[in-house]
Structure 1
Amino acid sequence: MSSATQFPARMSVADFLDWCPEDGQVWQLVDGEPVAMAPASTTHARIQAEIARLIGNHLLERGSACDVLMAPGVTPHLERAHNVRVPDIGVSCSPGGDDGSLLTAPVLLIEILSPSNHRETWANVWAYASISSVREILVVSSVSVGAEVLRRRPDGSWPEQAEVVSSGELHLESIDYVTPLMAFYRTTRLNTPR
C-alpha cells in the first residue's frame, strides 16, 4: 500500500483535509473513512458543466452575491467531525464567500445520478439534508431526462419523497431560477427531439 492510500482507521475532518492527496482523484470522508470517487462519465461531466454554467449565468445576470462551485466539500451536521461529502455542484450565498477548504453555508446542492452510484448519491443527499443552510437538493439523472427536487419546508422539515420532474420547467426556489429541464442536457446525447 502506498503512503498516499494509508490513513488512520477513523479520520477526523481535519486529518482528512491534511491527508487528502492532490493527485486528481476526488475523495470523500464517509463516517471517518476516506472513499475515492469514480471518475464521471462524459455524459455526467457534460451535465455537470452545463448546470454550473446556466446557474452561474443566472446568478451573474441577477447581480446575486451567490456563487456556484463544482465539487465543493461540505460537512453534514450529523457526524460532522468525521464526514466531508462532495456534491457535484454547490451554491452558497455567504457574505464574503467561502475561502476555506469546505463550503460552509450552501443553500443548494446538486448531484448527478449515475446507475453505478445510486446508493452512494442518495446517502449523500440525506446527509446534505442535515446541513441547516441547505434549502434545496437537486438530483439530476445522467441516463434519461429527469430530476428530483427536495425542498425544505417553511418549518425546516423535509418531504419524505422528492418532487419528480421529467419534462417541462424546473424551478429552484433557493436561487429563484426557472429553466426548461432539457437545458441541462443541451450538450449530451439525451438532447434529442422526442
Structure 2
Amino acid sequence: MSNTAANLMSLDDFLLWEREQPERYEYAGGVATMMTGGSLDHSTIASNLWMALRDKLRGGPCRAFRGDTKILANDSVRYPDLSVTCTPVRGADDTVLEPVLVIEVVSPSTEREDRGRKKFDYFRTTSIQQYAIIEQDARRVDLYTRSGDRWTDEIIEGAATLKLASIGAEIGLDLIYEDTELDAIRLREGERRAPAS
C-alpha cells in the first residue's frame, strides 16, 4: 500500500470521503491509505480461492466476496482479498456485514501489515471466526481459528488441505496455487527438466 492521505479523519468522514474517490482506500487509526495492485500470482490465487468457495457455498446461506468489497474491522476499513459472510446482504451494499472468514494473500510488500495491524483488527472483530494468510511465494497458509476468546494457529503446507470450519469447506493447496509459479504440475515438470548434477 502507498499514498497515505495526509490528514487524520474520523471513520464516518472517511466513509463519506471514500465514496467520492476513484481508487480504493483502507482506513486505520484515522489514516486513509490507497490500495495498490498485486502480482499476477496474487490475482490468480485470490481468483482460485473465490471460485472454489463460490462453488462450495452455492445454494447455502454464505457468500464469498473478492477484494473489491470492504469490511469494517475494529474501527478500521479493510479490503481483504476474500471475505465470507453468512449474513444476508443486498446487492447495492458496498460493505460485507459480519464476515466469518477473512483471507489475505500475502506478498513481501504487504506481509508486515497483513501479519500486524490487519491481524489485530481481524482478531478484535467478533464475527470473524477464521483468518487465513496465504503465502504468494511459498505453498503455505497460516490459518488462525477463534476458539472462545483465544486464537489457535495452524500451518498448512505442500499438498495439504485448508480446512475452513467457519464455513464448512475444504480446499486443497493444489487448487489454491493452480496456474501460478507454485502450481504442482509446473513444479513437477520443472523437476523433470532440471539437469542432473
TM range, normalised to the smaller chain? 0.7 to 0.9
Q: CA RMSD of the aligned region, Å? A: 2.0
- 1:8 is displaced (CA, Å) by 7.3
Distance 1:86 1:152 in 2: 21
CA distance in 1, matches of 2:151, 2:30: 26
Provide the C-alpha distance between the structure 2 equivalents of 1:104 and 1:180, rounded to a whole number of angstroms: 27
Tell me the distance in 2 between the aligned counterparts of 1:96 and 1:30. 24
Q: What is the CA–CA distance in structure 2 between the aligned matches of 1:124 and 1:149, rounded to whole Å? A: 14
Aligned residue in 2 for 1:134: 128
One of 172, 177, 181 as aligned partner of 2:173: 181
TM-score with structure 2 setting the length: 0.84
Identity of aligned residues (%): 25
Instruction: Write the letter of the residue equivalent to 1:163.
Output: E
Q: CA deviation at 1:127?
A: 0.9
Partner of 1:144: 138
| More off after superposition, 6-15 vs 164-173 | 6-15
Aligned match of 1:172 in 164, 170, 179? 164
Which blocks of at least 5 consecutive residues in structure 2 are unaligned?
189-197
* Contact 2:130/2:144 (8 A) holds in 1: yes
Higher strand share: 2
2:72 alignment partner, one of 50, 53, 75:
75
Q: Deviations over 1:40-94 (max 9, x none)?
A: 111101101110010001001xx211111112212223xx2xx212211100000
The alpha-carbon deviation at position 100 of structure 1 amounts to 3.0
Which residue of 1 is the match for residue 191 of structure 2? none
Of 23, 33, 54, which aligns to 1:56?
54
- Check 1:163–1:44 CA distance in 2 against 1; reply closer, same or farther (3 A cut): same
Aligned to 1:116: 109
Q: Which segment is superposed worse, 120-129 or 138-147?
A: 120-129
Pair 99,93 (structure 1): closer, same or farther in 2 beyond 3 Å: farther
Q: Is the 8 A contact 1:50 1:187 kept in 2?
A: no
Change (3 A) 1:30 1:57: same
Unaligned runs of 5+ in 1: none
From 45, 67, 85, give the equivalent of 1:47: 45
Work out the CA distance in 2 between the residues paired with 1:6 and 1:47: 27
- Residues of 1 paired with 2:139 and 2:27: CA distance? 30
Instruction: Please tell me the residue identity of whatever aligns with 2:72.
Output: T
What whole-Å deviation, never above 9, does each CA across 1:125-170 have from its counterpart, x for those lacking one?
22111111111001101111110100001x23213xx211012111
